[in-house]
């Protein structure tokens, strides 16, 4: 899996970086958690400060485009981002006793 950043802007008003990228991969499309981890490591950010907005794959291609936002603090991310984006791609906790 290889990530190429195509746009990296700083938004001072909201305290974040806005990043567009192209993801190239072999085999099946990587999960959102894998992409989030790789992007956070590549851009020297903590995973809990990154919000992965979208991943768009064309049929039959081994690449996709996406955009993400990297906040200065986790509190800023939680206050600004929509709730469903923060929960998207996170595995559900297993229920005990089931």
Extents of the domains making up the chain: 2-87
pLDDT tens, residue by residue, 2-12: 999 999 999 99
Helix (H) or strand (E) holding 4: strand 2-11
- The proportion of the chain whose per-residue pLDDT surpasses 90, expressed as a percent, equals 68
Q: What is the pLDDT of residue 93?
A: 77
**Gap between the Cα atoms of 55 and 77, Å rounded:** 19
Question: Taking the model in full, what pTM does it have?
Answer: 0.83
pLDDT score for 98: 54
**Distances in Å between the alpha carbon of 63 and those of 3, 4, 15, 52?**
10, 11, 29, 16
Question: What is the pLDDT confidence band of residue 24, given thresholds at 50, 70 and 90?
Answer: very high
Task: Give tens-digit pLDDT for 45-79.
Answer: 999 999 999 999 988 889 999 999 999 999 999 99
For the domain spanning 2-87, the CATH number is: 3.30.70.330
């Amino acid at each position: 899996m290889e990530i190429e950043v195509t746009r990296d802007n700083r938004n001072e008003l909201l305290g974040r970086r806005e990043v567009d990228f192209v993801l190239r991969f072999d085999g099946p499309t990587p999960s959102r958690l894998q992409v989030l981890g790789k992007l956070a490591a590549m851009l020297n950010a903590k995973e809990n400060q990154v919000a992965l907005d979208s991943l768009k794959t064309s049929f039959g291609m081994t690449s996709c485009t996406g955009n993400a936002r990297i906040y200065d603090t986790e509190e800023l991310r939680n206050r600004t981002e929509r709730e469903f984006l923060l929960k998207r791609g996170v595995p559900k906790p297993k229920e005990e006793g089931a």
